[in-house]
Amino acid sequence: MTTGQLILILLTITSLFSTTICHRPLSTNHHCNRHNLPSQKLLRPDQFTVLINGYSESRIPILHTITGIYSSSPSVAAVVLLWGNPNTPSTTLTHLSHNLSTSSPGHAPITVIRQPSSSLNARFLPRAWISTRAVLICDDDIETDTKSIEFVFNIWRNNPEQLVGLFARSHAFELTSGTWIYTVQPDRYSIVLTKFMMMKTEYLYLYSCGGGELMTQARLIVDEMRNCEDILMNFVVANVTSVGPVLAGAKRVRDWGDARNDGQKALTAAEEVAVGLSSRKKEHRKRRGECITEFHRVLGKMGLRYSYGKVVDSVGEQGLCQKGGKLVFCDQQFFK
């Protein structure tokens, strides 16, 4: 029996016993029992597990494409769609799991598992069936190519203690209000988003099970805000490493959740950085800033750390120029 077949069996068993979902705060007692988890020494270093956060049934057509790409990536051991919508019928998820598995052109097994809670914290639960040292946390509306996926994995293998992602943001202190804000800065970043975030599997345990009462309070903030689980993960990892995340450059990435992409070609990584937060609502940025302020208060310190620059596989992406009053990559056109 191959590793992939064993993973598929474990995932199938898990999905059969994960047919209900609740709205109450997430209970981590079972998931935090070390005896239920494989030893870190036994986890595979040459592959990673993809954990996709799914919620909207309208994304199902996109998911067929996205999961197929991940499954076709040589370094992927398994693709798992973690479904967090409590209102989706079980029959829909059963059909979805079957269709994704049978239609995929890739080698890695694809499985759909209903989350034990609608809490966003659930996407970071440690899982007994994860057999790899690295996991890729991603959203159900981000499409990239296998070359970029492998590139990010290679970056992570050279920086296994850090978070590696394709989408970066930053924190900053606003003197007038005396609060932290969530923003984009052209020269530095301190947060990579769960749109596409690769990390060490052990960090799932640290997020969900570590940190004592302080982390319990921080996770409650995520539940109250229905947001910011990615920011909190950046806090957790920076607290351990004392360094910021790593931003990687993908040749091709498309954010299907971004209205600017409707009917258009996929964004390059350079274009994604150039547009930054322009399509985000002001209220969203405000709430994210409130999360940073609350995490700082609850955890007792500002744990986020800045990083500078981006890892790319082509020199052409590295230059920044002023065009149309905006800082964009020199090899990109700017359109008002």
Q: How far apart are CA 231 and CA 292, in angstroms?
A: 7
Going from the C-alpha of 77 to that of each of 105, 140, 145, 151, 170, the distances in angstroms are 14, 18, 17, 16, 32
Give the CA-trace dihedral at 18, 196, 56, 283, to 10 degrees.
120
| Angle (CA) 165 169 171, round 5° | 130
Q: How far apart are CA 65 and CA 255, in angstroms?
A: 13
Dig out the tokens for 196 from the structure. Answer: 């596409």
Say how far apart CA 266 and CA 251 lie, in whole Å.
10
State both tokens at 274.
Answer: 């150039």
Does the annotation mark 145 as catalytic? Answer: no
Selected catalytic residue, list 139, 141, 223, 230: 230
DSSP E strand stretches across 25-131: 44-54, 76-83, 110-114
Backbone phi and psi for residue 77, each to the nearest 5 degrees, phi listed first = -85, -35
Catalytic annotation, residues: 230
